[in-house]
Amino acid sequence: MKAALFFPALFLSLTTLNPGTVFADDAYVLDVVREKGSISQILVSSKIEGAFSEEILEALESGAPVTFTYFLKLIRNRSVIWNKTERELAIKRMVKYDTIKKQYLVWEKRAEDDGDIDFTAELLRIAQKGEAKPEKEDKSEPTNAEKDTPPNNDPATPASSGKRDDDYDVIDDINVLRNWMTHLESIDLGVEEGLPLDGVYYVRVRCEMKSIKLIPPFNYILFFLALWDFDTDWANSAPFMLNGPPPDTGTKSESKPANSQNN
């Protein structure tokens, strides 16, 4: 009976949203930087503006899962032939609002190809249970490996008491959620070893939100999520070298980058 009342109400609430507020042209990536101090590893940070709109938040709190996918590329400049993509990484973050506990359930998966990332199983488990699984207090002693694991100081990582059986974290505060969905902090693109040391490199980042193929009962709202799909332009970091200071080019990562040649 509750389900029969919930989904018509959800349908009506989403139909009242104004399609004229679609924000696809407003979302953009900025502040793509290679972090200083990462000598042997290539660590990258960035963020997206104009993506987490009030319309998306309203759809989310009505029960729709929302997914942001970030694409990162490490590019080596080559003056004579096409620039070369040395590394690629896709990061997909999904959030699903638990309407019973009033909490945001979040997942993150990474792969070289975003086609290898899928959240169907996670959504199915949540749909079958109807609510988040209660937390279980872990009274066991930590293993040696857990004792040696450094604390997580990433400000973009959700505040949570730990992973659940379904590998999701819980966020209670909307501002923490917004920060986690729109910021990349210290993303590891691998070690410098194996890359030409005399090359000049830069990192490209873009973000997209595409309506995922939803399973029942979430497929009722697939059409309305499609209204807010977006795909940003690529944003480039300032060029840098692996074994020296970055060349002085005057490039600013804050501005929307012009399309550059890349394979």
Name which residue leads in pLDDT, 130 or 185. Answer: 185
pLDDT tens readout for residues 177-195 = 999 999 999 999 999 999 9
| C-alpha pair distances (Å), 152 with each of 36, 74, 90, 229 | 19, 25, 21, 32
Q: Tell me: the pLDDT tens digits for 215-244?
A: 555 555 554 556 668 899 999 999 999 864
Q: Are 226 and 202 in contact (CB under 8 A)?
A: no
pLDDT, position 209: 87
pLDDT band at 127 (very low <50, low <70, confident <90, very high): confident
Residue 210 burial by CB count (10 A; 0-12/13-18/19+): exposed, middle or buried?
middle
Nearest to 232 by CA among 2, 57, 19, 52: 52
Model pTM score: 0.72
- Per-residue confidence (pLDDT) for residue 7, from 0 to 100: 42
pLDDT at 169: 95
* pLDDT (tens digit per residue) in 141-161: 555 544 444 444 444 555 443
Give me the pLDDT at residue 196, please. Answer: 92
CA atoms lying within 13 Å on the CB side of residue 176: 15
Give residue-wise pLDDT tens across range 21-32.
Answer: 444 458 999 999
How many other CB atoms are found less than 10 A from the CB of residue 228?
Answer: 21
* pLDDT bucket at 63, cuts 50 / 70 / 90: confident
